[in-house]
Structure 1
Amino acid sequence: MLSVRQVAKMIDHSLLRPELTRADVAAGCELAAEYDVASVCVKPCDVAFAVGLLAGTDVAVGTVAGFPHGAHATRVKAAEAAAARDDGAAEIDVVLNIGRLREGRDDEVREDLAAVVDAAGGALVKVILENAYLTDEEKRRGCRLAEAAGAGYVKTSTGFAPTGATLEDVRLMRAAVSPHIGVKAAGGVRTLDLLLSMVDAGATRFGATTTAAMLDELAARRRD
Structure 2
Amino acid sequence: MNNNPPNSYIEHTNLKPALCDRDIDQLITEAKSYNFLGICVPPFWVKKASRDIADTAIQLVTVIGFPLGYHRTETKIKEIELALADGADEVDMVANISAFKSGMNWPKIEMAKCAKLAHEHSKILKVIVETALLTSDELAELSKIVSDSGADFIKTSTGFATRGASVDDIRIMKRNISSDVGIKASGGIKTLAELRAMVEAGADRIGTSSGPSIMKELENE
Compute the TM-score of the two structures, normalised by the length of structure 2. Answer: 0.95
Superposition deviation, residue 6 in structure 1: 2.8
CA contact (8 A) 1:96 1:127 kept: yes
Q: Distance in 1 between matches of 2:77 and 2:47?
A: 18
Superposition deviation, residue 2 in structure 1: 5.7
Q: Deviations over 1:53-112 (max 9, x none)?
A: 10111111110001100110000001111111111100100000001111221x201111
Write out aligned runs for 1:3-18 (5 A). Answer: 6-18=5-17
Write out aligned runs for 1:22-61 (5 A). Answer: 22-61=21-60
Write out aligned runs for 1:1-224 (5 A). Answer: 6-105=5-104, 107-120=105-118, 121-221=121-221
Q: Distance in 2 between matches of 1:168 and 1:134?
A: 12
Q: Distance in 1 between matches of 2:28 and 2:164?
A: 24
For residue 31 of structure 1, what is the amino acid of its counterpart? Answer: E
Q: Distance in 1 between matches of 2:83 and 2:123?
A: 9
Q: What SS does the corresponding residue of 1:172 show, helix, strand or coil?
A: helix
Q: What SS does the corresponding residue of 2:82 show, helix, strand or coil?
A: helix
- Structure 2 unaligned runs (5+)? none
Superposition deviation, residue 216 in structure 1: 1.6
Q: Distance in 2 between matches of 1:179 and 1:36?
A: 27
For residue 132 of structure 1, what is the amino acid of its counterpart? Answer: A
Q: Deviations over 1:21-51 (max 9, x none)?
A: 0111011111111111111000000001001
Q: Distance in 1 between matches of 2:207 and 2:109?
A: 26
Structure 1 ranges of 4+ moved more than 6 A: none
Q: Distance in 2 between matches of 1:159 and 1:32?
A: 20
Superposition deviation, residue 220 in structure 1: 2.5
Q: What SS does the corresponding residue of 2:178 show, helix, strand or coil?
A: coil
Q: What SS does the corresponding residue of 1:143 show, helix, strand or coil?
A: helix
CA RMSD of aligned residues (A): 1.2
Compute the TM-score of the two structures, normalised by the length of structure 1. Answer: 0.94
